[in-house]
Structure 1
């Protein structure tokens, strides 16, 4: 009998640590070629609810070599696998600076590793771990990644400059 998959929504958040949309082992701390990102859980309540569901919610810890001005507040996050090579790949959209929504393909999704991210909205499927029943991992279903503008003071000024029509029309 078919059982409907449970889904988890994490809205208006960000990534923590290095993203690995490309699946490059050099970008992963342990050399894995899995396409995976760490998504910050925006509220403590949502983090505790996800832990109660059996999801491995992680949290940051204070650096013992650093003196904090205020009391340390942990950031809760969860790893999300982006399996673009599956039978039903996730819909990952890149929201450009101009507001265009681009659906990423397995060939283009790696570009998200190199942009500055402003906002992330993610819907993920709960998948039970094979060897540990009752524990779940998250696989991306729908993800929107909004690009943030770079700290380029001239970007807006020269955005309106037209590109040359012909490659031979160079100014020199």
Structure 2
């Protein structure tokens, strides 16, 4: 039996989630005890690890930061393979968006320049996104996005190669 490799679930979330709520969600989502999880704002990682033994390896290691535009925060969750076996990338996106009533943009198996977006109701669609000067904006999606009625619909995004 082959062991699943460690991976990461990175994304942009439309809602800024307080660290304590993010921590609680991750503990529940991956069904791990508190000591196997590290969560910190990107700017405070060194401070958060100051009293942690160097040899300690966390099963899940999450950093986040606030962003602007159509999204409120970015996050990166590095996880051990056993956690990826429990909760795949798509399921993670469905869980976090439903839990926080938000939408999430992430990269999965879509063509270059196109992103997967998961809505709070579990709908998955494709979207185009630009980032300039720290402003992250969607420029189109394959279906309507709640809260962004002016976002152009471009069903041809799914044909981008």
Q: Name the TM-score class by shorter chain.
A: under 0.3
TM-score, length of structure 1 as denominator length: 0.24
Structure number with the bigger relative contact order (C-alpha 8 A, sep ≥ 6) is: 1
TM-score, length of structure 2 as denominator length: 0.26
Structure (1 or 2) with the larger CA radius of gyration: 1
Structure with greater helix share of residues? 2
